[in-house]
Amino acid sequence: MNEKHILLIISGGIAAVKLPELIRRLTAQGARITPVLTQSGAQFVTPLSIAALARSKVFTELFDLTEEAQMGHIELSRAADLVLVAPATAQIMAKMAQGMADDLATTLLLATDTPVMIAPSMNVRMWQHPATQRNSKRLQEDGVQIIGPNDGEMACGEYGPGRMAEVDEILARVAGFFRNGPLSGRHVLVTSGPTHEPIDPVRYIANRSSGAQGTALAAALRDLGARVSFVTGPARVPPPKGVDVHPVQTAQEMLTAVEGLLPADAAVFTAAVADWRMADAHGQKIKKQSSGAPPVLQFAENPDILARVSAHELRPQLVVGFAAETEHVIDNATSKRLRKGCDWIVANDVTPQTGIMGGAHNKITLIDKAGAETWDEMPKIDVARRLAQRIADALT
């Protein structure tokens, strides 16, 4: 992080007590920190200790004329390479989501054109409240990267999600942002979402894939420093920021895009590609017959993108497929790995009762040539992080 400049906003949560450690580790890695302490943040850590560790003046007041004379708030907000809010309380998240600017921290956040990362920290019920979830979603749509929060015991004695991410985790995300992570210099290709296969100009064949797992994986790979090419069908979930997005509609377009993006160090195929397309899509809308006879649709098989890339002359070092199964998950996925010629298969059970397809959680079995390893059920974002780390380990 040599000489990278981080504007660190410390808002008021008990997790602020982890900040001295975070600042110490960031500066040890060469980052330059400009701390901003909110009024409530100052209830948990003192400006003096933060200034000493960051070796910088601590900014607190919006209308401090001396500060404005030295460096105006606009300049302060833009001079950094990254704005990091840790801990980020429910309150500061709500203000950010609304675009409020009623103190120095929120004014800087509104004025900045620098990427922003936040590490939320709050009571489990506050995190799970629909308002906070709405704010979190809105902030992600606005391009804010969210670190954590984690499950765990809270200072208030409750247990659940809301604990600020650990210092190591925040460091990994910041390092990844500066392309300093274990996948720095690596190119990873990810396919995601469903494909739409036209029947005629207004109708198409599709499936229920939301693109959530592929999007989470692309973000996790980006966070470890990879250059990510993200080839996505029409997904419900918006693509992550900071990756190269290549939107496609059909399987054939996906294949062309993927082949055009090779070489890559690794390729992960999370897309739910339609196995069939219309043999001859109609140029005009199919009309109802006066006889009442339904139209006969002729299908043709789509190219298997995963199998093609596995056998490609520019085959990536690591090729990972997904297997959506409804029965005999491990057996089917094990034979799928061999049939498709990929290195790993990430298998999951997509029977509707599991709620996996289109849902927020996933339970996967990772299959490689050594055998099968089943992971506990966890949020798709955690599956993505763990898988991204495995990919990083395999490539190094």
Binding site for ligand CTP (CB under 6 A): 191, 251, 269, 271, 273, 275, 302, 304-306, 321-324
Q: Kindly tell me which of 263 and 295 has the beta carbon lying closer to ligand CTP.
A: 263
Task: Give least dist CB 320 to ligand CTP, A.
Answer: 8
The residue from 74, 156, 279, 314 that is catalytic is 156
Task: Give least dist CB 108 to ligand CTP, A.
Answer: 42
Q: Kindly tell me which of 92 and 309 has the beta carbon lying closer to ligand CTP.
A: 309
Task: Give least dist CB 346 to ligand CTP, A.
Answer: 8
Task: Give least dist CB 176 to ligand CTP, A.
Answer: 25
- 255, 308 in Cβ contact below 8 A? yes
- 120, 149 in Cβ contact below 8 A? yes
Instruction: Count CB-CB contacts under 10 A for residue 67.
Output: 17
Task: Compute the C-alpha angle 327/362/365, nearest 5°.
Answer: 55
Read off the tokens for 275. Answer: 């196995």
Radius of gyration of the CA atoms of the chain, in A: 24
Read off the tokens for 126. Answer: 């506050």
Q: Kindly tell me which of 116 and 306 has the beta carbon lying closer to ligand CTP.
A: 306
- 209, 271 in Cβ contact below 8 A? yes
Q: From 288, 26, 294, select the one nearest 171 (Cα to Cα).
A: 26
**CA trace torsion 124, 126, 129, 135 (10° rounding):** -120
Residue with tokens 């396919």: 191
Single-letter amino acid, residue 1 = M
Q: Kindly tell me which of 71 and 375 has the beta carbon lying closer to ligand CTP.
A: 375
Rounded Cα distance between 104 and 61, Å, is 6
Rounded Cα distance between 336 and 323, Å, is 8
Task: Give least dist CB 350 to ligand CTP, A.
Answer: 9
Task: Give least dist CB 270 to ligand CTP, A.
Answer: 6
Q: Which residues pair with 205 in a beta bridge?
A: 197
Q: In sequence order, which ranges of the chain are alpha helices (DSSP H)?
A: 19-28, 47-54, 65-70, 73-78, 90-98, 104-111, 124-128, 130-141, 167-177, 212-223, 251-261, 305-310, 329-340, 380-395
Task: Give least dist CB 272 to ligand CTP, A.
Answer: 6
Q: Kindly tell me which of 90 and 267 has the beta carbon lying closer to ligand CTP.
A: 267
Q: Kindly tell me which of 271 and 383 has the beta carbon lying closer to ligand CTP.
A: 271
Q: Kindly tell me which of 86 and 323 has the beta carbon lying closer to ligand CTP.
A: 323
- Decide if 156 is catalytic: yes
Instruction: Count CB-CB contacts under 10 A for residue 150.
Output: 17
Q: Kindly tell me which of 226 and 273 has the beta carbon lying closer to ligand CTP.
A: 273
Cα dihedral sign, 110-112-117-118? negative
Task: Give least dist CB 321 to ligand CTP, A.
Answer: 4
Task: Compute the C-alpha angle 21/27/32, nearest 5°.
Answer: 130
> Active-site residues: which are they?
156
